[in-house]
Structure 1
Amino acid sequence: MTALVRSLRAAALVGCVLVPAAACGGASGGSEAADTPPPSSRTPAPPADKGPACEGTPTAKGLHVLRGGSQALPGGAGPVLYKEGGSDGTHRTATLTNGTGTGTAQAGTTSWPVRPGQTLAVGGKAFAVSQICTYRVVLTPKDETAVTQSPVPNAVDPGWPSLTDGRLRLRWHVPNTERHGAISAILHDVAADPDRADIVITSRAGGGAGYEDARVGDTLEFAGRLWKLTVIDTGDGNPSMANRNSGYVDLQLIGPSS
Structure 2
Amino acid sequence: MRGHAAVGFAVALLALAGCQSRKPAAGPSADASPARDKGPLCVGTAAAGMPHVLRGGGFTLPGGGGVRYTGASADGTTRTATLADGARYRSGARQWTVRTGARLTVSGHAYTVRQICSYRVVLAPDDAEARAALAAEPASTRSSGGSADDGLCYTTNRSALTAAGRGFPAEGQALPLVTNGGRRQFPTGWSIAVYFVSSADGTAHLGASCAGIPAADYQDVATGDTVEFAGTLFRATVVGASRSVTLTRLRS
Tell me the TM-score normalized by structure 2. 0.70
1:44-76 deviation digits (Å, cap 9, x = unpaired): 443111101000113364111100110011123
1:130 aligns with 2:114: yes
Measured at CA, do residues 197 and 57 of structure 1 come closer, stay the same or move farther in structure 2, by a change above 3 Å? same
Unaligned runs of 5+ in 1: 1-40, 236-244
Measured at CA, do residues 96 and 42 of structure 1 come closer, stay the same or move farther in structure 2, by a change above 3 Å? farther
- The answer to which of 190-199 and 161-170 deviates more is 161-170
Q: Aligned equivalents of 1:139 and 1:209: distance in 2?
A: 16
Taking the TM superposition and a 5 Å limit, the aligned residue runs for 1:66-215 are: 66-76=54-64, 78-101=65-88, 105-147=89-131, 150=156, 152=158, 159-162=166-169, 166-178=173-185, 182-204=189-211, 206=213, 208-215=215-222
| SS of aligned partner of 1:47 | coil
Identity score, percent: 35
Match of 2:53 in 1: 65
Measured at CA, do residues 163 and 188 of structure 1 come closer, stay the same or move farther in structure 2, by a change above 3 Å? farther
Partner letter of residue 53 of structure 1? L
1:56 aligns with 2:44: yes
Unaligned runs of 5+ in 2: 1-28, 136-155
1:218 aligns with 2:225: yes
Partner letter of residue 234 of structure 1? G
Measured at CA, do residues 43 and 81 of structure 1 come closer, stay the same or move farther in structure 2, by a change above 3 Å? farther
1:185-239 deviation digits (Å, cap 9, x = unpaired): 111101144211001111117571000111111111103210011x21123xxxx
Runs of 4+ aligned structure 1 residues displaced above 6 Å come to none
| SS of aligned partner of 1:146 | helix
Match of 2:239 in 1: 233
Q: Aligned equivalents of 1:164 and 1:118: distance in 2?
A: 33
| SS of aligned partner of 2:63 | helix
RMSD in angstroms over aligned alpha carbons? 2.7
- The answer to which of 49-58 and 120-129 deviates more is 120-129
1:248 aligns with 2:235: no
Larger Rg belongs to: 2
Q: Aligned equivalents of 1:250 and 1:200: distance in 2?
A: 14
1:47 aligns with 2:53: no
- The number of aligned residues is 201
Measured at CA, do residues 227 and 174 of structure 1 come closer, stay the same or move farther in structure 2, by a change above 3 Å? same
Tell me the TM-score normalized by structure 1. 0.69
1:61-103 deviation digits (Å, cap 9, x = unpaired): 4111100110011123x221100101111111000112344xx
Measured at CA, do residues 178 and 155 of structure 1 come closer, stay the same or move farther in structure 2, by a change above 3 Å? farther
Measured at CA, do residues 223 and 124 of structure 1 come closer, stay the same or move farther in structure 2, by a change above 3 Å? closer
Partner letter of residue 248 of structure 1? S
Hey, which of these two has a bigger chunk of helix by percent? 2
1:141-196 deviation digits (Å, cap 9, x = unpaired): 11133236646565666542346961111011213433658221111101144211
